[in-house]
Amino acid sequence: MLFSDSMKKTRQFQNVYKNGKSCADKFVVMYVWKNGTSSNSIGISCSKKIGNSVVRHRFARLVREAYRLHEDMFNSGLDIVIVARACAIDATFHDIERSLISLAGKARIIQDGGEK
């Protein structure tokens, strides 16, 4: 994540949940809020309902890698929170990548001509 920061504080997550807009699919829910800066912040949330720490960390790694590969497609100045759904336990990298890109399209946060 060359151009993005990680969200670590609870108040950052709460701000995005409260003020941002959300889009969802089978595997993830994406919350997006304009942060007024020139860089993006990404936060990943995965509850214990999803599985043990190995499963939760795997989900976080998949999301980070999918975002990193397509980071140049996203508009700048956004806070993005990705929340795992129960089906994410069995998700492959390609499932997560497809979900991330399709939800970004629904949320209209992809730059024009950003598709690879």
- Domains in the chain, CATH or no CATH each: 4-106 (3.30.230.10)
Give the 3-state secondary structure of 14-66.
Answer: HHHHHHCEEEECCCEEEEEEECCCCCEEEEEECCCCCCCHHHHHHHHHHHHHH
The pTM score is 0.90
Mean pLDDT of the chain: 92
Q: What is the pLDDT of residue 113?
A: 57
Residue 87 reports pLDDT greater than 50: yes
- pLDDT tens digit string along 18-67? 999 999 999 999 999 999 888 999 999 999 999 999 999 999 999 999 99
What is the pLDDT averaged over residues 77-82? 96
The sign of the CA dihedral 96, 72, 75, 64 is positive
Q: What is the pLDDT of residue 111?
A: 85
Q: What is the pLDDT of residue 6?
A: 94
Residue 116 reports pLDDT greater than 60: no
What is the pLDDT averaged over residues 67-89? 94
